[in-house]
Structure formats: C-alpha cells, structure tokens
Structure 1
Amino acid sequence: MGDSGKVSARAVALLVLGKFDPAAGDASEVLYRYIGRTEGRGQATDIVFGVIRHRKTIDHLLALIGNVQAKRVQKRLMNVLRIGVYELVFAAETAEYAIVNEAVELARTRGGRRQAGFVNAVLRNVGRAIAERKCGADEADKLDFVPVSARWGCRFKRDVLPDEAEGAGRYLGLKYSLPGWLAGKWAEQFGRETAERICLGSNRKPGVWIRPNRLKTTLRELCSRFGEAGVEFDLWLERDMLRLRGGVSVPELPGYDEGLFSVQDPTAAKVGEIVGPKAGEVVLDMCAAPGGKTTHMAELMGDEGLVIASDVDTERLGMVVENCQRLGISAVKAVDIHKMGEAVEKAGGADRVLVDVPCSNTGVMARRCEVRLRINHEKAASLAGVQYGILTEASKYVKQGGAICYSTCSIMDEENCAIVRRFLEEHEGWSIESEELTLPGVGICGEDVSGDHDGGYACLLRRYQC
C-alpha cells in the first residue's frame, strides 16, 4: 500500500477474483465495490475481466508448462498465478519483470516465502516458454500460437494447443477459452471458419457504445459536448452511435445527468428499430429490465403513446423507472408482472410486443465474460421451454394486425429460429415479417469500429388482419 492509502491494481484484481461468483454473474458488481481502493482502475478492470475471459486457456498453460493443477492449488494462490499468466500472454505491453515481481509479492503477503518461491518458479517457466509475446496473427492456425485479438497473439517455443484432429470443439475451446461443446456446436451450425470468428468475437474487449437520446439531442450535438470536454470517441454514423475511447466513467460524462444519452450495444439498439413503434401506439415490453430497449422504443415514438414495461424481477424493474426519469421519458408505465394483462386490456390491447427473453447469452460473452464459466449444454437446452412460454403468452396481448418482436442475445438455433418455427406451427394467424441473426463482431479493424458489437437474434412476427 502506497502513501496515498491505495493498493496496486493487481491486488484489487486478486481480491475481486476471489470474491466473484460465476453462477451469479456478479464480477462487475464486486469490481465496482473495490475499484476505489486503487488508482490503477483501468489495469484492475482489464485484469479481472481478462482472467475470467481467458481462464480456461490460462489454466491449460499452467498445467502444460508449469505442471500446476487448479484443483490442487489454494484458490488465492491459483488466482495469483492466473493474473501472472494473463499478463505474460495477453498483456504484452506490461514488462515481464513487473508482472513476475508483483505476483511474487502478492503470494508472499499471505503465503510466505514458500508460496512466493513457487509463484516465481512457475511464472519464470511460463516466461521462458514464450518465443514472442506479441506477434502478428498471420500464422494463427499454428499450434504454438495463442490469439489475443484478430490481429495479434502470443507465440510459444512449443505447441501448446491440441491437434484439431482431436475435434474442432476441443481445439477451439482451449484456443479461445470456451466450453468445448459450445465451440464444437458453432462449428457444426455455422461452419469451421465462421465458428472461429465467433470465438474471436467472444473474446474481444468490448467498447462502450453511446446512443443519443433523440428526445433531447442529436449525435452531432452530443459529439460537440464530448469534444469540448476532451472526451475521445469514434463514430459509427450508419448506426447514429459513438464509441468511447479509453476507460471513461460514464456517469461523469457531460450530459449524463441531463439524460442526453444511454449506453447500449449496437446489436441491442437494433432491436428497438426492428420493433418499429410509432407515436401514439401501445407497446408492451414483457422482459423490460433494466430498460435499455424500453426507453429506446419510447424515444422512437417521440415519447407519445404508451409503453407498458413489465418484468418478473420487480427489483430490476425499478431500474426502468430510474432510467426513464434520467432520460425525461413519460410514456413508459412500469407495471407489476401480475398486473400486466390488466394494464394491456385497459389500454385496448398492444400494437406491438417486445419479448427479449432470458437466454444463454452466447452472443454477448465478450461483454458478459463469466458466462463461459457457468454455461453447460443442459442449462442452455432447458431455456427453450421458458422462451416458448413467454412468446406464447405475448401472443395473447397483440391486436389484429399487430406484431411481436422475439429477441435474444443468443446465437443458438434452438433458442432462436427453432422457437419461432415451433410457435408458427402451433399458432395460426402469424407470419414472419423479418428475421435477423447477428454474430459477434471480431473487434476494431483500423479506423473501422463497426466490428465491435455483440451477437443476437430478432424476429418480427405479424398477426394477420382478419
């Protein structure tokens, strides 16, 4: 701890990694709780999410090179090693001596000389096994290469990945720190080449995207405000959005308290446009919390009409109300899930319904990196019944000639087109008006930021006019 009373970024990262629960998906919440203890906020954030994102690959390298088995090592000590390997392999800009020295000190703090010596020996072995910490991805198919992004990676002096003859799932799973069954499924569903791009996209460091609140400002005006404040950003003009550069605190941005913008990924923002709400209409959002899509639809309506927002999680539904207050939106009415039907009936039925159903999150694993640590095939398969049930329930509230937008942040057929096809088979009077699957982007390419987006699915179903 320095004179300021602050601790190092690695110490905070170690604390967070020890406390977060993959099943709860609470890494961001735990990090927020402790991030104030360090002045190296950006580095701490990068380490936490980097270790979570690449944990399977890191543990594989520790076992292969350092003969370290995660189940046999005390949790805190294992996380010290993971931080060290993450920085050696995936953070080439950080000096090797700094990485190893602080890892040794973190181990010594509680474990004494013996653990410090163990960490030093393991990380030195990993360091010696690396041929080049940062090299181009032109030979990314080699078994001695671990990708860091679509453009570069870390090359070892020996093969560290399994031969793909053992199966695409095992190879891609270890290469990109993903469940082998999932990587294999992507290879079957999308083809081998596309599956690898999905893996890359699932490992990118996602940017923070800003969508202007069209009720109060424009993209040009918001850019001017940010520019005057020295905030750096990139534009995606076709999507009317901007992407922040660097680790900027969103609540401290100019215009945040005034409600001039929302944070939303471009793929998520596209859903509101697919719903296509018009001024004066009645719109139902059945899975509204925390409110990004709800408020977007209200903005698209010019805040004229009614958006009934409901959710099974009443606590999170309160976030919808808070977002509406900040953005100056009055057309949204938050309704308890048990009173949702009554509210829709009172409004005369819904012109449009959005069902952004609970899903496996396989399209957003770059942003929700801990998903890879908890997802399994059984859990993913069990969601289909819930998703179909919500879609069926939604159909009860739609007027003749109205529409339902069924959306997920999954890229799995069984959660997307299979649910829609089943619904159409079992319900007469509906047809597909549009259907779109977006795969995760692989990241920024030069000055083109359009590759930094999540994956997801949206299908607009139209009810026939009788």
Structure 2
Amino acid sequence: MLNAREASVKALYDIHKDSLYSQNAIKDYDENISKLEDRNLFRELVYGVLENQIFLDYVIKNLSKIKFKKIHPMILEILRIGLYQLFFSDRIPESAAVNESVKLAKIYGHKGSIGFVNGILRNANRRKDEFLTIELDDSNEKLSVRYSHPIHLVEMWVEQYGKDFTIELLKANNTSPKLNVRVNTLKNDKDTLAKNLEEQGLDVSTCKIAKDCLILNNPNRITETK
C-alpha cells in the first residue's frame, strides 16, 4: 500500500511523462490507498499541483542551482508536492511538508537529492511571503505566475475587466469547487441521505440556496456509496 504523498508523486510522474489524464492517474493509484483521509490528501496533492504548477515551477527555477530541465523527474514531482503543501495547504504542518518530502527523496533520489530537496523547501518556506505577495501595480506576467494562468488569458481579462477584477477572478478560479448533489425526494429525504453519507465517511453540509440539495466537501469514491 502507498501513502498519499508517494502515490501523488507517482501519479504526477505518470501524468507528465505519459500525458496521462489526471482522473486516470488518480484511479490507478487510489485503489492502493487504504485510509479515506489519505485518499483525500492524495487527490488534493495531485489536483493542487496541477492547478498551481506554473507558480510551483517558478519557485523551483528561482531557488534551484540545477537547471530546471536537468532535475530528475521524480525529484521534480517531490518538490512540487512539497511546495504545494507549504504554500497552499493550511492543514499540513510545515515540518511535515518538508520532512515527508525528504523521505521520498531518499527513496527516489540519491544522496545529493536529499540535501537538494531539503534546501529548496526550507528556503522557499523562509521566502513564502516574497513569492506570494501581489500588488496592483504588478505586471501581467507576475499575475500569470502567481495564479498559474496562461499569460494570454490574464492579458485578455485585464484588458476587458481591469486588474482589480482580474485578480479576484484569478483567485476565484483557483478555489476548489464543492460537489452539490440533488436529493431524489421520491426515494429519500435530505436528512436521512446526509446521515447515510456521513456514516460512509463523507463530509456533508447543507446547501443554503437550493432546498433539496447537499454539499459533499470530500466526494472521494462517491460512486461506491450505497
């Protein structure tokens, strides 16, 4: 069995090396993760890295003494998931993000890889505010990097909507959506269905807009529920 971080490194490697669709890569490794919370973290890391890859690679390029194209692919994925945890995951302690990434470097790299991964992640953590801070007078290129959106899209939005609105749009576009499900009231009621899903390990909340609707905050393996 794999833990969430190792599975995410393998899945991302397959996605980038073989141009595998993310949902197929996730399906390949999801079955090898036993705990629900680990499967949730696995999915968060894979999708989080893909959604923020322009920014994560920018940080690596700025901190690495090795040319980006010469970094071993597995070590590159380890750096990406480590940086994602440091910059974008509030629930993961910084020490865990660094230490678990170093453990993976010991498995998939050589002796030099360990210090390389440790050094970049600790340096990035010290300079976190510097990388994340965005000002209104920043260039479109910096907005493109910070929010991992193609530069041509950022330029188009700034021209059409202005920079203030574009920044809010970029932030919103990087927010993970919740899964909303409509309750079939001919077969069930909302409270009973919510209780049933919670008993199967899902985090359920009530939709405030639609009457017969539930929000699934961690819809992992929803198709396997009864």
State whether TM-score is above 0.5: yes
User: Are 2:16 and 1:18 aligned?
Assistant: no
Structure 1 stretches of 4+ moved >6 Å: none
Change (3 A) 1:12 1:228: closer
User: Are 2:149 and 1:190 aligned?
Assistant: no
Bigger relative CO (Cα 8 Å, ≥ 6 apart): 2
1:250 counterpart residue number: 222
Change (3 A) 1:79 1:89: same
* Alpha-carbon separation, structure 1, partners of 2:23 and 2:100: 24
* Alpha-carbon separation, structure 2, partners of 1:91 and 1:48: 13
1:203 counterpart residue number: 174
Richer in helix (by share): 2
SS in 1 for 2:62: helix
Change (3 A) 1:88 1:64: same
In the TM superposition, residue 8 of structure 1 has moved relative to its aligned partner by 1.6
User: Are 2:163 and 1:227 aligned?
Assistant: no
1:36-55, Cα deviation, whole Å (9 max, x unpaired): 22231111111111111111
The higher radius of gyration belongs to 1
Change (3 A) 1:99 1:21: closer
* Alpha-carbon separation, structure 1, partners of 2:64 and 2:17: 25
Is 2:136–2:164's contact at 8 Å kept on the other side of the alignment? no
In the TM superposition, residue 182 of structure 1 has moved relative to its aligned partner by 0.6
1:279-303, Cα deviation, whole Å (9 max, x unpaired): xxxxxxxxxxxxxxxxxxxxxxxxx
1:359 counterpart residue number: none
Aligned pairs for 1:1-400 within 5 A: 6-21=1-16, 26-38=21-33, 39=35, 40-67=38-65, 69-130=67-128, 144=130, 146=132, 165=137, 167=139, 169-213=140-184, 216-217=186-187, 221-230=189-198, 232-238=204-210, 240-254=212-226
In the TM superposition, residue 194 of structure 1 has moved relative to its aligned partner by 2.3
Change (3 A) 1:80 1:229: closer
Richer in strand (by share): 1
Tell me the number of residue pairs that the alignment of Structure 1 and Structure 2 aligns.
Answer: 219
Q: Which amino acid aligns with 1:210?
A: V
1:379-435, Cα deviation, whole Å (9 max, x unpaired): xxxxxxxxxxxxxxxxxxxxxxxxxxxxxxxxxxxxxxxxxxxxxxxxxxxxxxxxx
Is 1:172–1:196's contact at 8 Å kept on the other side of the alignment? yes
Identity %: 24
SS in 1 for 2:110: helix
SS in 1 for 2:206: strand
Please list every run of 5 or more consecutive structure 1 residues that lacks an aligned counterpart in the other structure. 1-5, 132-143, 147-159, 255-466
Change (3 A) 1:195 1:166: closer
SS in 2 for 1:210: strand
In the TM superposition, residue 83 of structure 1 has moved relative to its aligned partner by 1.0
In the TM superposition, residue 247 of structure 1 has moved relative to its aligned partner by 4.4
TM-score (norm 1): 0.43
Is 2:190–2:214's contact at 8 Å kept on the other side of the alignment? no
In the TM superposition, residue 67 of structure 1 has moved relative to its aligned partner by 4.4
* Alpha-carbon separation, structure 1, partners of 2:17 and 2:180: 25
* Alpha-carbon separation, structure 1, partners of 2:18 and 2:144: 20
SS in 1 for 2:86: helix
Is 2:179–2:219's contact at 8 Å kept on the other side of the alignment? no
Please list every run of 5 or more consecutive structure 2 residues that lacks an aligned counterpart in the other structure. none
In the TM superposition, residue 206 of structure 1 has moved relative to its aligned partner by 1.5
Change (3 A) 1:78 1:23: closer
* Alpha-carbon separation, structure 1, partners of 2:2 and 2:26: 14
SS in 1 for 2:10: helix
Q: Which amino acid aligns with 1:16?
A: A
SS in 2 for 1:78: helix
TM-score (norm 2): 0.84
In the TM superposition, residue 233 of structure 1 has moved relative to its aligned partner by 2.0
Q: Which amino acid aligns with 2:108?
A: R
Q: Which amino acid aligns with 2:162?
A: G
1:297 counterpart residue number: none
Q: Which amino acid aligns with 2:194?
A: F
